[in-house]
Structure 1
Amino acid sequence: MLPTELLMFRVKAGIVEPRRLKATSGNLTLAQTLIDLFQSNIGKQRGELEAELKVLEAGRTDFRVLRGLAHLLTGLGTFEAGGDVEPGVVRAKVFELAQAQPPSRAATARVLDSAAQALAMAPEAVAAALYADLADQQTLVLFEAPEPAALLERFDLAQAQGALYRASSLIITARRNEPARYKQLLKYTKFFGLMVTVEGDPDYGFTLSVDGPMSLFGGTTRYGLAMAKFLPALLHVTKWDLSAALKPRKDLAWVDATDEEWSFQLTSEDGYVSHYKPPEDHDSALEAGFSDRWAKLETLWELEREVDLVPVPGGVIIPDFRLKHPDGRSVLVEIVGYWRPEYLRKKFELLRKSGRKDVIVCVSERLNLDKAGVNIADFGDRVVWFKGVLSPKEVLERAEQGWPT
């Protein structure tokens, strides 16, 4: 992401429009120039790299774009302190020896020689290692060079992320499409620690309301950063709309002093590209293994991964699978593996609130349900117990029994 001073945007009628870079020959050339500069500095100190960047930006009117691209490239590099001995160890030994002598050039040379002998290093290596862990002294040891077009896409997304730093609320409408994406969406909100209220139904879509940093924590950036980090994950979810209420930047001279709120709007069709790894088809090896074993069964029941959310007062249930028969019968499958007591209590509470009788609940025998305060006696013959591996045959037997929805 980008620091606040490198965010570029304009405001039209209260709508925030982040800066986007077109893939023009000039922008692509600048991106390639910066990528080449970073690659040529592998093995050199950060200070040398920064000096070359200053030379490159001298006299340019688009210096903020250059700085933004360079900042993103810096995040793709690995900087480490040089030498075989930790700088802290070297400093401790040098300072210890220096205390016994009054400061002078001769004393400095003697101290470095003594420290070199004690640490089994060359005197010049001791001098180089003294402050090798300071940012400008660190060495670029690895750089993952992106394609120029990908760097421009990363810049665009970083500008959009920056708009969420000052969000007071965030509303995401997940439109009707690919039910499995709903599960990914809620998983992402939990992963990034966002506080979400869910409303809606699988026929028309779901609305996720997220409280923002400006409303909850008096402007702290921690939660705002969580929202910004969430955005690239959201891009992996198909068909959605995002609307955020922002606190205006009063520190900018061109901002209308009468503005009390800005709005930031995004949709899945806006063309932003995520740099996050796409989500796996399955949430766990347990689910993936069950799916693979089911495929080997000789049965008319089809295992579906993309399952609609089941609305429940106070939340939603997102079953892991649906079993569907050609004659129209349908059964949901929920797999409860090893997890925390709080998760187990909430999971079974939601299952009860749903009132659904067509859910097969597969429970690991490793779970200590008594310790978690969970009683599943009322689920009756809808429960399938398993140890290390969930048997598709046992689940199939329950499905054949059939329950009303």
Structure 2
Amino acid sequence: MLPTELLMFRVKAGLVEPRRLKPTSANLALAQTLIETFEANLGKRRGALDEDLRALEAGRQDFKVLRGLAHLLTNMSTFEAAGDADPVQVRSKVFELAQSQVPSRKGSALILEQAARSLSLDRPLSPADVQASLYADLPDQQTLVSFEPPAPLELIHRFDLAQAQGMLYRAYELVITARRNEPARYKQLLKYLKFFGLMVTVEGDATFGFTLTLDGPTSLFASTTRYGLAMAKFLPALLHVTKWDLSAAVKPRKDLAWVDAADAEWSFQLTSEDGYVSHYKPPEEHDSALESGFAERFAKTETPWRLEREVDLVPVPGGVILPDFRLVHPDGRSVLVEIVGYWRPDYLRKKFDLLRKAGRTDVIVCISERLNLERAGVDPSDFGHRVVWFKGVLSPKEVLAVAEQAAVPAA
């Protein structure tokens, strides 16, 4: 992401809009030049890279764009202290020896020789090695040891996304309206929500969409910017979900002279159609071999039923259910399919607790006989005829037989 001072945006009628870079030949050329500058500085000290960047920036009116792109490239780079000795140990030894010497050019050379002999443990050190290591851990003295160059267009995409993320730094409320999506994408979304310490409340239905209201366990006590930073980190995961709208309430920046002092709140709006590109790894289509195997076998089954991957969220008190599949009949009937395979006892208890709380009668629960449900304290008998037991593989025909009984007509 980008530091606050490199964010570029405008506010119009209370709506905040981030700056975006068009993939023009000039912008692509700038991105390519910056990438080549980093590549040319591999093995060199960071101070040399900074000098090259300052030279590129000289006389440019769009210096904030250049700095923003360079900042993102820096995050793709690895800098390390050069030399064979630990700079902290070198400084400690040199300063210790310097206290007993009269300051002089000759004395300085003697100190470096003495330090080299004292510090030569695993391998011999020369006075030049000691001198080179003395301040090698300072930022401008560190060496660029690795760099993963993106394509110029990819760098522009990262810049645009970073600007959008920056709009959430001061957000204190985030509401997402999502429609039907693949469960793997929703599951990735919930994984990142948990990872970044955010909690979500889910409401709504398939007809009008699902509303996800984000909250954080420390949002009432921590600063707004800390909470907003977590939401900003979460944004790239949302981009892998299709068909959504985002609305964020943002605290205005009063430190900017052009900001209207009367503004009590800004609004940041984003949709899945805005063309932002995520750099997070996309989720796998199926979470397990059980799911992919069932889908493959179903594709070979002669049936009017259609197996869909895009399903609805099922909001329940204290959580949410993400069914693995939906079965849809040409006459409009449908039923959800949840496969419970190989999981820990605590997961099984939570899974079945949520299924009960949902109160849905249109969910088929497919359970592996290899699971030790008794040890987990789980009794699925109250799901009645909607339970399908399986051993090695899940039979599509058995699921379809239950679907004929459990499916509900279209609303």
Q: What TM-score do you get using the length of structure 2 for normalisation?
A: 0.84
Counterparts in 2 of 1:143 and 1:106: CA distance versus 1, 3 Å: closer
Structure 2 equivalent of residue 26 of structure 1? 26
8 Å CA contact 1:331, 1:399 repeated in 2 = no
Could you tell me how far apart the structure 1 residues matched to 2:321 and 2:31 are? 45
Structure 2 equivalent of residue 111 of structure 1? 114
8 Å CA contact 2:171, 2:225 repeated in 1 = no
Could you tell me how far apart the structure 1 residues matched to 2:130 and 2:375 are? 57
Structure 1 equivalent of residue 214 of structure 2? 210
Structure 2 equivalent of residue 199 of structure 1? 203
What's the offset of the Cα at 1:294? 4.5
Counterparts in 2 of 1:131 and 1:62: CA distance versus 1, 3 Å: same
Superposition pairs of residues 90-101 of structure 1, within 5 angstroms = 91-92=88-89, 95-96=92-93, 99=96
Could you tell me how far apart the structure 2 residues matched to 1:330 and 1:214 are? 40
2:61 is equivalent to residue 79 of structure 1:
no
| Paired residue secondary structure (1:169) | strand
Opposite residue 81 of structure 1, the aligned amino acid is A
Opposite residue 63 of structure 1, the aligned amino acid is F
Aligned residues: 398
Q: How far does the alpha carbon of each residue in 1:260-290 deviate from its partner, in whole angstroms, 9 at most, with x for none?
A: 1111111222222222232221123442344
The farther-off stretch of 20-29 and 338-347 is 338-347
Structure 1 equivalent of residue 339 of structure 2? 335
1:354 to 352, 355, 358: 358
Could you tell me how far apart the structure 2 residues matched to 1:296 and 1:126 are? 71
| Paired residue secondary structure (1:403) | helix
Structure 1 equivalent of residue 164 of structure 2? 160
Structure 1 equivalent of residue 405 of structure 2? 403
Q: How far does the alpha carbon of each residue in 1:131-151 deviate from its partner, in whole angstroms, 9 at most, with x for none?
A: 434332322222222222222
Opposite residue 164 of structure 1, the aligned amino acid is L
The farther-off stretch of 161-170 and 47-56 is 47-56
Structure 2 equivalent of residue 39 of structure 1? 39
Superposition pairs of residues 245-260 of structure 1, within 5 angstroms = 245-260=249-264
2:310 to 294, 306, 331: 306
Superposition pairs of residues 271-310 of structure 1, within 5 angstroms = 271-295=275-299, 302-310=306-314
Could you tell me how far apart the structure 2 residues matched to 1:325 and 1:107 are? 88
Could you tell me how far apart the structure 1 residues matched to 2:63 and 2:338 are? 54
Q: How far does the alpha carbon of each residue in 1:222-248 deviate from its partner, in whole angstroms, 9 at most, with x for none?
A: 432221122122222222211110111
Opposite residue 247 of structure 1, the aligned amino acid is K
Could you tell me how far apart the structure 1 residues matched to 2:202 and 2:19 are? 31
8 Å CA contact 1:214, 1:220 repeated in 2 = no
Could you tell me how far apart the structure 2 residues matched to 1:188 and 1:97 are? 48
Superposition pairs of residues 123-134 of structure 1, within 5 angstroms = 123=126, 124-134=128-138
What's the offset of the Cα at 1:384? 4.6
What's the offset of the Cα at 1:66? 1.1
Could you tell me how far apart the structure 1 residues matched to 2:94 and 2:258 are? 57
8 Å CA contact 2:197, 2:217 repeated in 1 = no
Could you tell me how far apart the structure 1 residues matched to 2:260 and 2:91 are? 57
Could you tell me how far apart the structure 2 residues matched to 1:314 and 1:213 are? 14
Q: How far does the alpha carbon of each residue in 1:322-349 deviate from its partner, in whole angstroms, 9 at most, with x for none?
A: 3456787754321234445554333212
Counterparts in 2 of 1:91 and 1:189: CA distance versus 1, 3 Å: closer
8 Å CA contact 2:180, 2:310 repeated in 1 = no
8 Å CA contact 1:78, 1:142 repeated in 2 = yes
Could you tell me how far apart the structure 1 residues matched to 2:343 and 2:137 are? 40
Counterparts in 2 of 1:126 and 1:178: CA distance versus 1, 3 Å: same
What's the offset of the Cα at 1:382? 4.1
Q: How far does the alpha carbon of each residue in 1:149-176 deviate from its partner, in whole angstroms, 9 at most, with x for none?
A: 22222211111100101001011111x4
| Paired residue secondary structure (2:228) | helix
Opposite residue 396 of structure 1, the aligned amino acid is K
| Paired residue secondary structure (1:244) | strand
Could you tell me how far apart the structure 1 residues matched to 2:152 and 2:95 are? 50
8 Å CA contact 2:72, 2:159 repeated in 1 = yes
Counterparts in 2 of 1:152 and 1:100: CA distance versus 1, 3 Å: closer
What's the offset of the Cα at 1:396? 3.3
Could you tell me how far apart the structure 1 residues matched to 2:390 and 2:118 are? 63
| Paired residue secondary structure (1:65) | helix
Could you tell me how far apart the structure 1 residues matched to 2:67 and 2:273 are? 28
Structure 1 equivalent of residue 51 of structure 2? 51
Q: How far does the alpha carbon of each residue in 1:286-336 deviate from its partner, in whole angstroms, 9 at most, with x for none?
A: 423443455466766654322233344554422112345678775432123
8 Å CA contact 1:166, 1:214 repeated in 2 = no
8 Å CA contact 1:213, 1:219 repeated in 2 = no
The farther-off stretch of 287-296 and 29-38 is 287-296
| Paired residue secondary structure (2:268) | strand
The farther-off stretch of 28-37 and 159-168 is 28-37
- Return 5+ residue gaps in structure 2 as ranges: 102-106
| Paired residue secondary structure (1:362) | strand
Structure 1 equivalent of residue 104 of structure 2? none
8 Å CA contact 2:168, 2:248 repeated in 1 = yes
Structure 1 equivalent of residue 15 of structure 2? 15
Could you tell me how far apart the structure 2 residues matched to 1:48 and 1:386 are? 64
Counterparts in 2 of 1:372 and 1:239: CA distance versus 1, 3 Å: same
What's the offset of the Cα at 1:203? 1.7
Opposite residue 219 of structure 1, the aligned amino acid is S
Could you tell me how far apart the structure 1 residues matched to 2:366 and 2:45 are? 56
Opposite residue 400 of structure 1, the aligned amino acid is A
8 Å CA contact 1:79, 1:139 repeated in 2 = yes
What's the offset of the Cα at 1:200? 0.9
What's the offset of the Cα at 1:187? 4.7
Percentage of matched positions with identical amino acids: 69
